[in-house]
Amino acid sequence: MTTLAATSGAPHASGSFWSKVKPTHLLAALNSLILIVAQWQFSILEGYSVLLIAVAAAILCEIVASLLVREQFPNILNAYISGVSTTLLTRPAAGAWWPIVAVAVLSILSKYVLTWRGKHLWNPTNFGIALILLAAPNSATILGHEFGNSPWANGVIWFVGLIVVARARLLHITASYALGFLVFAWLRSLMLGTALTTEVAPLTGPMYQLFIFFMVTDPPTAVTGRNKQILVAFLVAACEALIRVGNDLELSFLAPFSAAPAIFGLTIVGPIAKWIDLERAHRAKHASAPLAPQPSA
């Protein structure tokens, strides 16, 4: 979950205040609001110092990496969003703060290290969280029901989340993933004999709401084209469903992914789709390029 700064649509021609508000600003405000209210109402953090440490680590890492690799000062708002998102989604073991810093740093570095044709393949925060869950499963977990699943908290996420993705013209990605999740939830309920409400329940939790609004829709790592974006979102939901079913069937090789099926679904499908998209664009560009004139005999 990074930014919605890059959108598929052009800016509004209107000079109104609303037309000047970028989705990345809305995302930063939403993440901050959710975290502050969640801490105030439900005490999801051991203290605000955890937030400050995560944000500071992300910003410092962004500045150093950008100066070294790109030789320019970065937009630190993106790093701020990564730091807040990391704090929201990662639950370190009691008394530990290093997993938060690790996720923040890994998330930022992935944008500079794990690239292909000048673009990063993984959603940064998604990559950082997935890696820490695999590398240190006893030291960190994913956000669960710390918000208490209250209608008020969920309402805030849905209301502002819909505004952000609609403003960024990415609502079709959120809708496609949600529809895919519902379809596979129904299939899982038939296959496993569980109640449909049980299978659908995760979608109403805060982690999934943040995921569908701000992680699976991340423009820098999304493929180009509305239809391809819809397909990839559906494939992410399919991969997640396979992880869930595999764990229900006790397939040992899928056990490491059971902590966060959605996170790992995007971790697996997202970069493959982005790599294919970049390669197709590269080949199309070179295929359409005019041939160099040949020297005369």
CA distance 1 to 33: 16
CA distance 182 to 175: 11
Q: Worst-scoring range by mean pLDDT, 5-14, 91-100, 191-200, 230-239?
A: 5-14
Q: Tell me how far CA of residue 294 lies from CA of 110, 290, 291, 297, in angstroms.
A: 43, 12, 9, 9
Provide the pairing of β-strand 119-120 with 115-116.
antiparallel
Q: What is the mean pLDDT of the chain?
A: 84
Contacts 24+ apart (CB under 8 A), 67-73: 69/112, 70/112
Answer yes or no: is pLDDT of 15 > 60. no
Give the model's confidence band at 10: pLDDT under 50 very low, under 70 low, under 90 confident, else very high: very low
pTM over 0.75: yes
Answer yes or no: is pLDDT of 6 > 50. no
Whether the CB-CB separation of 83 and 54 falls below 8 Å is answered with yes
CA distance 35 to 44: 8
Average pLDDT over residues 285-292: 70
Whether the CB-CB separation of 168 and 7 falls below 8 Å is answered with yes
Average pLDDT over residues 193-209: 84
Give the model's confidence band at 160: pLDDT under 50 very low, under 70 low, under 90 confident, else very high: confident
DSSP state of 117: T
Q: Residue 211: CB partners within 8 Å, gap ≥ 6? A: 1, 262, 263, 266
Render pLDDT for 116-151 as a digit per residue (tens, 0 to 9).
998 989 999 999 999 999 999 989 888 765 555 566
Boundaries of every domain in the chain: 17-280
In the CATH scheme, what is the code of domain 17-280?
1.10.3430
Give the model's confidence band at 168: pLDDT under 50 very low, under 70 low, under 90 confident, else very high: confident
Structure token digits, residue 184? 């596979």
Render pLDDT for 221-279 as a digit per residue (tens, 0 to 9).
999 999 999 999 999 999 999 999 999 889 999 999 999 999 999 999 999 999 999 99
Answer yes or no: is pLDDT of 14 > 90. no
Answer yes or no: is pLDDT of 16 > 70. no
Nearest in space to 181 (alpha carbons), one of 251, 242, 116, 102: 242
Q: Which of 3-7, 35-39, 203-207 has the highest mean pLDDT?
A: 203-207
Structure token digits, residue 187? 């299939």
Whether the CB-CB separation of 91 and 206 falls below 8 Å is answered with no
Render pLDDT for 64-90 as a digit per residue (tens, 0 to 9).
999 999 999 998 988 998 898 888 888
Tell me, rounded to whole angstroms, the distance of Cα 229 from its chain centroid. 14
